[in-house]
Chains A and B, each alone.
Chain A
Amino acid sequence: MTTELDTTRRLRAWHEGRPQPRGEALNVHVGDDDDILCLSFVRMGGESLPWGVIVGGATTPEGKNRKPSSKSGSTPRVFTVPDPRNRDLVADMMIAVGREVLAHFGHPRYCPDQDESLSVYRFRQLWMPNPSHLEMLHSLAFAYARTRWERADVEVLRDFGLLANCLFVESQRPGQQTVVVASSALSSVYSFPTSPVREAHLGHQLAWFGRERTRATRLDAARAAEKFPVATALDPDFERRSLAPLVDKWNDAPRPDRVRLGKSHASAITKILSAELERRHDLVVDAIGLLRRDTRRPNSGLRDLVRIGRESFSKIWWDNVLKSMADDPDAPAYWPGLWGDVTAGSAAFAYHSRSAAAAEARQILVHGDRALQEEELLAGHGLRITVTGIAGRGSTWNASFDFPEIPSLKSGGSLSIAGAATHSSKSSLKIADFDLDARTIVLQPKWSAARSALGALGMSSDDQRWVGKVLVLVDDFPPDLTARLAGRAAKRSAHDFDPLALFKRERDPEPQEPADT
């Protein structure tokens, strides 16, 4: 059903001829300049590690002339290698990149002001143009997190690999705000007058916000923008024409002399890759700027999501950094695995954990944005009621409901009044009884006294002004219960029994000749 809502929003955006705000609030956290690091990659076709990397802040120097500005962190730094098939060169490059990223996240080994940073993890954000850049983080984790390579600065590679893996793992948790894919962020904030397939292209999205005067000219601009790739891969034709001859020439020299003799070819390659990287970086910076200029208020729930994100990332990365630095055999670091869910037990754990995180994020944000409430209702996670009577001094409410047509209700279940929530309290109601034919419901408020923090919806439960009010109630199933399921699933995995064994197909037994008796 949410898809239908997306469809109607897209049609409205088409009618207006420009992207339309999605929701009344911004549901993506955009950190301060100090919090944000933008990271983009390019890779050679067929390779999984980078050919070039750009690292920079959330702003670009005026005129985009790339000269260092007075504002620290605003000048992006470009790193490239002439041929990424040379693992040594790539490792050298990633050591330099790794130092920057590790310092941004406050790794004590790479921060000059260690004393303060040793105590707590400060929330940081990483912005990337599209999901292919996120995949690159995972590839880097595979390449370096567990490396036993004997080379100089290998610990930087290892630290960076571990951080990259933790960032990738965190990026999979619904509601997280630490790793932001810019194209997904824009899609969650705006409805675009374009096919969802095209929305994956950050350049296409941003071009819709251009200064062109009509829908047709904006569409032309958006289609022109998507001719320039934003993913880690380069355009194959461009790669063949512009880079392949230079790489061939660089490789012409004998292997030991390539770096020395191939300087001119290497700088030509750098020049081409820099332009590609800078375009990707600029798009991310533009996306951040666009979100910062948006006049909508941030969703009040984002503060909680940032707090949860800080705690979550601190647990999977920061705590392990401190443990590995302390090198205490009784408290070893326990780093997340690289391969994902390799057993049925861990898959079940991850499934329930993510379900809980998704429900939690939904419940946190839904109160701060009416458009999200609409989505919840259409997805069957809520109910629209009219309070018809109050009984038992406010302990019971009688109400009728008119939407959705077929609600999913359960006696004993919990709903909360949409919009009536702060990070510390909300107005929850227990479902005592309901009649689907008569479309009536009996609810038991879980509060009694008035709460001024909830504004107009903070009245006491026996206040007669509730009667006649139309309220949107949203699903209030406690995410902790789902999270507990994850723990139980993980415990079960400790046994020998593997549920997947049930699905192993056995060959039907061959018919046997009756045995002679």
Chain B
Amino acid sequence: MKNLIDILDLSTEEIDQLIQTANDIIENPEKYSEKCRGKKLATLFFEPSTRTRLSFEAAMYELGGNVLGFSEAQSSSAAKGESVADTAKTISCYADIIAMRHPKEGAPLVASQKATVPVINAGDGGHNHPTQTLTDLLTIQREMHRLGNFTIGFCGDLKFGRTVHSLIAALSRYENIKVVLISPEELKLPSYVKKDILLKKGIEYRQTTDLESVMPQLDVLYMTRVQRERFFSEEEYLRLKDSYILTPEKLKNAKKELAIMHPLPRVNEISVAIDDDPRACYFKQVLNGKYIRMALILKLLEVE
């Protein structure tokens, strides 16, 4: 494997291997602190994403490597009209590995076809964000101690939420996953995701608008933000944004071992009163994101 563009580029064995490495990094960080000495990661962020960029940068620094790059298109040659392919070829001369975020879907794939170093898709528009999915998988594995045999509820914006679509695709390859889809009518999971993944793989699922009624069944609750940028009308965004707000009252009937996840940033869909609940995993998820990116960088750079 040379690049990571789509989560399905990785086999489940490769994902298991990455999770194993990430867990080892968490246990023995000092063992990895010099692994990438002399190596450079280029973070090419054609649109701002502080969280993902800093996670990649922190990952590289903790491996003893260095980082170069830019955090918005205005400070890159793209502002002068350079193509993604030319940028990728140029940066290949400076760095050993590239993490690219781009507002246009498919841009990291184009970069990977031209770059001579590995390319990681750090998010392309509303399309793919495979390292977020790896982060989610590591978090589930660490919280549940397994990647199969559980019921996961996805709540909020299931229509535009790419993290939801990718995680469903990734989980569909594991045994005995049950899915509960909780959303307002307007933000339901697109029918092609249901048809191409859930129905095709024979995954048991149900749809509901009522979070509390399904709460007792859930082992994992994956909350999402209703994203302002996906709406053409402000009015419609405002109408739907408060559809589901997770509060301590709504968790009354939840399992004691429930894992509450969220790709962040949150707006108000999880009450801050839940942050201290031991079931809240979303900040652990952020930390896991750094570790799985470390594991990925090591794998793509073929560092033993």
Answer yes or no: are A and B bound together in one complex: no
| Chain A residues engaging chain B, CB cutoff 8 angstroms | none
